[in-house]
């Protein structure tokens, strides 16, 4: 049955506040239980609620609409094609979808469900309310006039922005011994030619309750990421400062991937940072790790791009990302005729810089040596547009909360020359990009029950009229005190 096209109610508003703070204010406003904030190239977007919701798990892909409408495509071995099929049915004009993909999608994207459980692999929403903030202006799009009015009320309300004080967590001890052992096992596998490179990660529990919006503000001020995000979607909360994109696809089919591999600390001391930069650019281990990552990125894009269009646009630049500096390259190409953004995503996901070389062998090693599934860690937060554009950020340098548990996670690339102690230190350097900016959640307000028979205030003057005394401070219901 053909559905008529829906249109957003739209308006624009000049803003005095900076876009990051405005986006964070929307996230904390409770306008919507589920939301995504995504920063891309100086533009912040807030996506709240859902006009359409697409999820993917081992049973297949589902499209949910308001009023309980649902379309289910049972698993057929081509899950990302199913996602594209469902997005093609979205009946909202000029839609953009926001969401995330779990690392474990990498095991299943070619049809194999042997290594995934019942977890959700992908979650996208076409939002009920979308606000894009750029250059002092907000562009609001809402499914109804009431939503537009509510969003405007948040944006125009007087608000004093707090400057919460972060508390750093100890990122050195959790899982350190197990991590050293895993690195040693990986080096043995590499020397036995079963692998060329693998990324192992470790989990750092966070025992305190974290304010995710406050952490986003503090962490974004202290980082200079390629992308940043803040989300509460499908039972997962996360905020992070992504050092690189997995893939970017333009409406005309231009594709870019950005492998970062090779790391040294960024200390804030100019002389020391320059020494570490020089060391990074001359270290054979780091250069090898980076070069094979670039080679794989090129090979993957060759599989989906027109012949002769794939090239290395930038090679081994140094990018500063929070508490670390990385070797960085850009690989680009142009999609072959008939292919779309999801074909590019399938070709490069997961990022080689978060998995390994070759990828299938790296997956086996990751499953065997890491303490738990990855979920959102080293997956992607992404936007997908009606015109074929896509922007997918690698989820690293992040804090996560699910099922009442909060944690950090970071890894390092392991090759034949890796040393366990140095790889452990690299995870600490990366964890500092978020671990030093965790803002504690405010204590819940307490409202003690009043004493039904309070003692009289000895400093208060006696009143000859008890009724008048009782009513002196009374406020009529509905009146302003």
Give the distance from CA 417 to its chain's centroid. 31
Characterise 178 by phi-psi region: left (phi > 0), alpha (psi -120 to 50), beta (else): alpha
| Structural tokens at position 429 | 């350097």
The position carrying tokens 């989820």 is 395
Residue spans of beta strands (DSSP E) within 106-196: 122-126, 129-134, 137-142
CA-nearest of 427, 430, 55 to 240 is 430
Is position 320 annotated as part of the catalytic site?
A: no
The position carrying tokens 């990498």 is 106
Contacts of 455 (CB under 8 A, 6+ apart): none
On whether the CB atoms of residues 399 and 206 are closer than 8 A, the answer is yes
Measure Cα distances from 247 to 79, 255, 346, 357, 391 in Å. 18, 7, 10, 18, 6
Q: Indicate which residue of 244, 423, 426, 429 is catalytic.
A: 244
Q: What are phi and psi of 306, to 5 degrees?
A: -60, 140
Which DSSP helix (H) or strand (E) runs through 298?
A: helix 284-302
Q: What are phi and psi of 442, to 5 degrees?
A: -65, 145
Q: Annotated catalytic sites, by residue?
A: 244
């Amino acid at each position: 049955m053909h559905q008529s096209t829906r249109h957003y109610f739209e308006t624009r508003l000049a803003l005095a506040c900076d876009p990051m703070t405005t986006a964070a204010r929307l996230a904390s406003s409770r306008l919507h239980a589920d939301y995504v904030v995504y920063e891309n190239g100086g533009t912040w977007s807030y996506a709240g609620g859902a006009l359409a919701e697409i999820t993917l798990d081992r049973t297949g892909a589902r499209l949910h609409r308001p009023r309980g409408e649902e379309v289910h495509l049972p698993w057929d071995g081509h899950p990302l094609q199913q996602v594209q099929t469902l997005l093609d049915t979205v009946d909202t004009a000029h839609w953009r979808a926001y969401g995330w993909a779990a690392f474990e999608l990498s095991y299943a994207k070619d049809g194999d469900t042997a290594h995934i459980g019942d977890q959700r692999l992908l979650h996208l929403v076409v939002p009920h309310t979308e606000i894009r903030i750029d250059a002092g202006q907000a562009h609001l799009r809402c499914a109804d006039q009431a939503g537009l009015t509510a969003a405007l009320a948040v944006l125009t309300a007087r608000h004093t922005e707090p400057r919460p004080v972060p508390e750093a967590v100890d990122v050195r001890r959790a899982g350190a011994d197990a991590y050293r052992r895993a690195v040693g096992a990986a080096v043995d596998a590499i020397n036995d030619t079963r692998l060329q490179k693998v990324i192992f990660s470790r989990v750092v529990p966070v025992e305190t309750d974290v304010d995710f919006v406050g952490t986003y503000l503090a962490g974004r001020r202290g980082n200079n990421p390629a992308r940043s995000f803040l989300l509460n979607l499908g039972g997962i909360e996360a905020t992070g400062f992504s050092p690189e994109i997995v893939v970017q696809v333009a409406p005309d089919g231009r594709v870019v991937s950005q492998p970062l591999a090779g790391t040294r600390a960024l200390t804030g001391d100019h002389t020391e940072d320059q020494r570490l930069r020089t060391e990074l650019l001359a270290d054979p281990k780091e250069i090898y790790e980076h070069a094979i990552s670039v080679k794989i990125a090129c090979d993957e894009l060759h599989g989906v791009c027109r012949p002769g269009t794939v090239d290395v646009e930038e090679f081994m630049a140094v990018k500063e990302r929070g508490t670390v500096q990385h070797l960085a390259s850009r690989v680009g190409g142009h999609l072959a005729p008939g292919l779309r953004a999801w074909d590019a995503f399938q070709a490069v996901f997961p990022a080689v810089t978060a998995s390994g070389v070759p990828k299938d062998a790296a997956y086996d090693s990751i499953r065997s040596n890491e303490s738990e599934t990855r979920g959102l860690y080293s997956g992607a937060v992404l936007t997908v547009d009606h015109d074929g554009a896509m922007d997918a950020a690698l989820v690293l340098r992040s804090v996560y909360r699910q099922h009442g548990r909060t944690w950090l996670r970071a890894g390092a690339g392991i090759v034949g020359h890796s040393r366990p102690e140095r790889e452990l230190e690299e995870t600490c350097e990366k964890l500092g990009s978020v671990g030093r900016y965790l803002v504690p959640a405010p204590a819940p307000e307490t409202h003690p029950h009043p004493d039904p028979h309070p003692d009289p205030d000895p400093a208060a003057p006696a009143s000859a009229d008890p009724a008048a005394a009782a009513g002196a401070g009374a406020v009529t219901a509905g009146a302003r005190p």
